[in-house]
Amino acid sequence: MAEENSEGSAKKAPKQPRKQPKKPRGKGKPFEPGKSGNPVGRPKGVPNKITAEVREIAQRLVEDEVYQDQFRVRLQAGELGPGVETMLWHYAYGKPKDVVEHQGLESISALLEAAKSRANGE
């Protein structure tokens, strides 16, 4: 409560530092950075059961002779959905690794210089 000082007016209580309310986490971000809702969950690199099952089914399908024959027919007829087939092969055998080779910083610098020259019309 307010106390009276020697002049008879009310003395204000010292200000308490105000705590800022925590900002609500955005939609889809319920946890603080670096914290998990399941800290002892599945270890990294271990596929879940569904992924393993889908991979097995995809491998059996792409190795089936009847499927391979139908695949050739659809490919030659132009009826093949490329996204679906690509996804199926990736599930069966994994996505191929992209390999980028370079000879060091000198070759990168040379490429950058050549690109600048082309851009400047030289």
CA distance 37 to 25: 14
Once rounded to an integer, what is the mean pLDDT over residues 57-82? Answer: 85
What integer pLDDT is reported at residue 65 of this predicted model?
93
What integer pLDDT is reported at residue 17 of this predicted model?
65
CA distance 53 to 38: 24
Non-local (6+) Cβ contacts of 2 within 8 A are: 10, 11, 12, 13
- Does the pTM surpass 0.95? The reply is no
The model's pLDDT over 65-76, given as tens digits with 9 standing for 90+, comes to 998 898 888 877
Return the percentage of the chain with pLDDT > 90, whole number.
3
Q: How far from the centroid of its chain's Cα atoms is residue 75's Cα?
A: 32
Which is more confident, 47 or 54? 54
Average confidence score pLDDT of the chain: 75
| Count of CA atoms in the C-beta half-sphere (13 A) of 54 | 11
The model's pLDDT over 19-36, given as tens digits with 9 standing for 90+, comes to 666 666 666 667 776 676
Non-local (6+) Cβ contacts of 61 within 8 A are: 67, 88, 92
Going through 1-122 in order, the beta strands assigned E by DSSP cover 3-4, 10-11
Q: Is 11 helix (H, G, I), strand (E, B) or coil?
A: strand
Distances, alpha carbon 13 to alpha carbons 9, 18, 20, in Å:
13, 14, 20
